[in-house]
Amino acid sequence: MISIGTVGGIYGTREKRLHAYRTHMLLTAAIAIGLFCLYTLSNALSSPVISHSRDQLGVREYPKVPNSGICDPQFPAHQMDHVTIDELDSTLNLTDRLDSLLAKSSYNKGNYSISIFGRQNVLYERYSNKTNSDSIYRIASITKVFTDLATLILRQNLSLSLDDDVRRYIPLNLSEEFSNERVSLRSLGSHTSGFPGTIANIFSDIYWDDKEGVLQTPIDNSTCDSFTTMCRMEDILAQFENSHMTSIPNSFPEYFNEAFGLLGEVLSRVDPKERSYDDIVIQEILEPLRMNSSFFDLPHDLEQRGVYDPVGMFNLDIQSMRAAGGLYSTATDMTRFIQGTMLGTAHLLSKFELAEWFQPVVALPNGDEIGFPWETVSVSLGRRTTKVYTKGGSLGHLSLSFAIPEVGLGGIIMTSEIPDYAKIAAEIANEVTQVGIKYLAGLSEKYTGTYEGYNSHGNKIVISIEVNAQSLYVTRAYIGGYDLLKEQNTSSVGLQPTGHDDRFLISKTTKGCLAWEARERATSNYQGLDVLVWNDGEWLLPAFNTTLKKTNPVVNSAWVDLGKKIVLPNPITGLFDE
C-alpha cells in the first residue's frame, strides 16, 4: 500500500496539504479504514490492552483464551434494561474510568460527542466545548449498517433474497474470466464480493513530484466528473467490465465501498413502492426510530449545527456512494439507532432476523469476524470473551459505533481533529464491555444457590449453580444417587440461556461448551433432560415435571474491582486464571 506520509507535516501550503490529503483518502481509504479499524479495535479491545509497534503489525499475537464463543455461557437478556449510571459507578466506577481515558487523550484538542447507553437510557455523555448531543457529523461508513438493515427490511416483504446474484437486478457486465462467479447481495453487504478495495479507474497516472515534494495523481475525467465528486452509478457499472476479482466471492473480506453503492441501487430497483434508496432508509429506519436530525442532504438551515471538518469533506457530494457513506447524524440519533436495532428495542427486525444479523459472514485468522457489515471483535475478561459489534466511519469526521447485545450496552463516539480517536474510542468500548459483564455477573447471582426437589419416583434431585469467570455454571447435579458431572468427568458445566423466555440448557462436555455432538439430546415427556426453566426464584425441570427450591445460597466473587488484578477460579481446571 502506498504511504504518503504525515499530513500537515511536509507538504508546505494548506492547498498542497489539502490536495495531498484528499489524494491519500482516495488511494487508501477503502483498505486503510477496514484494516486499521480492525487492527486498532482488536488491539485495544483485548484485556489487557496490548500495544504493538508498526513493525509488528504483520506478526502480532492475540491473547489466548482457553474457551471462547459458545463455550462461555452467556447471561440472560434484558437484566440491565433499567440500570443507571449511579448503580454502575457504585460498584465499578464507570464514569471515573471513562473520564480518565479522555483526560489522558488528545480529545481536548478537537471536537467530540460521546454517548454511552443501555437499552432504555443514556448512561454517560461527554462533549467538547463547541459540541452537544445535537451536533451534526458525517458518519461516513457507518451508513453501511443502515444499507444492510434496509436490505433485511426489504427481504421481509419478499422483495429480494440475500443469496440473489446482483446481476438479477442490475446489468453488471463482468469480464469473461469472472462471468460465472456468483456475486450475491450478502457478499456485497459484507465486503466479500471478491473484488478489491476499489474498482474505479480514477487516476490516469501516479508519480512522485520531486519539485513539489508530493505524490501527484492527475484525475482521469473520462469516468468521473471531478476530483471532489464521486463517480456516478453508470460510471461505476462501466468499471466492472475491466475489473479483476482478487478472491472467490464469499471467501475473504476486502473493504469495498462500491459494493454498497451497488446494493443501494438494488434496493431502489426492487422496492415495491418504487422509492429511491434515500427514501427507503428514511421511511423504514430514520422515521420509525425518530432520528429527526439524520439526513442524506443536510438542510441549509441546519448547517450551523455541523461540526468543523478540517479537510473540507463536510459538504462533499458522493453521489452513487451515498449507500456507502452518505449519512449525517448526531449522538442523540445514533443512540436511538443502536438502541432500536442492535439492542433490539424497536423491533424493526424479528428475533430470528436479529439473531441472523449477529452472525458472522466470514472469520479472520486472528479470531475477528466480518458480518453484514459489522466488524466483530472479542473483549477478554479473565477466561471469558464477549463479542462487541463495531462499525467505524471516516470522511472528514471520524466516528465509531459499538454494541454489546449480550450486555445490553452500546456507544457512539464522534470526533473531528483528533488524531488518536480510534485508540481511545476502542479503549472506551473495552471499559464499557468489561464493566457491563462484571455488573451483569453480579445481577446473575439471583440464579445461584443449591436447589433441591423430588421427581414422581421419589428420587431426590440436587443442582448447584454459581457465577464463575463471569459466566453461569452448574457445579453440582445429582439425580437420586447419580452424579451427572462425575459421569462427564468434569467439575462444572455451562448454563446457557436459549433466548426463549427463561429457558436454559446445561452443557454436556468437559469443556463446558454446547458442542455439536451435544445437540442429539435425551428427552423425557418430549422435554430435553438438559433443560432448566427459571420461574420466580425456583428452577423447573420439565423432563421430570419437578420444581427445585433453593436450600442454600452460593457465595460468588462476581463483582471484583476491575482496578485490581482479576483472579477467578477456572471451573474446568480448578486453577486460577488471570
Decide if 392 contacts 141 (C-beta within 8 A): yes
383 confidence band (pLDDT: 50, 70, 90): low
| Predicted pLDDT at 490 | 81
d(CA 472, CA 240): 51
**Greater pLDDT, 142 or 54:** 142
Q: In the predicted model, is pLDDT for residue 154 greater than 90?
A: yes
240 confidence band (pLDDT: 50, 70, 90): confident
Please write the tens of the pLDDT for every residue from 116-144.
Answer: 999 999 999 999 989 999 999 999 999 99
Please write the tens of the pLDDT for every residue from 500-514.
Answer: 778 998 876 555 565
- Taking residues 550-573, what's their average pLDDT? 47
Decide if 176 contacts 242 (C-beta within 8 A): no
d(CA 207, CA 489): 67
Lowest-pLDDT choice from 6-10, 225-229, 295-299, 571-575: 6-10
Ordered by start, the domain boundaries in the chain are: 14-441, 448-577
Decide if 389 contacts 433 (C-beta within 8 A): no
Please write the tens of the pLDDT for every residue from 88-106.
Answer: 999 899 999 999 999 988 8
At position 559, the amino acid (one-letter code) is: W
Q: In the predicted model, is pLDDT for residue 51 greater than 50?
A: no
| Predicted pLDDT at 304 | 92
How far CA 436 is from CA of 85, 117, 118, 478, in Å, comes to 11, 11, 10, 33
Q: In the predicted model, is pLDDT for residue 575 greater than 80?
A: no
Please write the tens of the pLDDT for every residue from 309-357.
Answer: 888 888 888 888 899 999 999 999 999 999 999 998 999 999 889 989 9
Other Cβ atoms within 10 Å of 56 Cβ, number = 11
| Predicted pLDDT at 460 | 92
**Greater pLDDT, 366 or 443:** 443
Q: In the predicted model, is pLDDT for residue 540 greater than 80?
A: yes
Q: Phi and psi at residue 409, in whole multiples of 5°?
A: -125, 155
Q: In the predicted model, is pLDDT for residue 409 greater than 90?
A: yes
Q: In the predicted model, is pLDDT for residue 2 greater than 70?
A: no
How far CA 395 is from CA of 55, 114, 126, in Å, comes to 27, 18, 22
Please write the tens of the pLDDT for every residue from 38-50.
Answer: 444 444 444 333 3
Residues 6+ apart with CB under 8 A from 418: 105, 106, 107, 109, 110, 111, 112, 398, 424
Q: In the predicted model, is pLDDT for residue 178 greater than 60?
A: yes
* Average pLDDT score over the chain: 78
* DSSP H or E run through 154: helix 143-156
Lowest-pLDDT choice from 147-161, 190-204, 252-266, 509-523: 509-523
Please write the tens of the pLDDT for every residue from 241-300.
Answer: 777 788 888 888 888 888 999 999 999 999 999 999 999 999 999 999 999 999 999 999
Residues 6+ apart with CB under 8 A from 140: 325, 393, 394, 395, 396, 397, 399
- Taking residues 533-547, what's their average pLDDT? 92
| Predicted pLDDT at 72 | 56
d(CA 497, CA 486): 23
Architecture of domain 14-441: 3-Layer(aba) Sandwich (3.40)
Residues 6+ apart with CB under 8 A from 15: none
522 confidence band (pLDDT: 50, 70, 90): confident
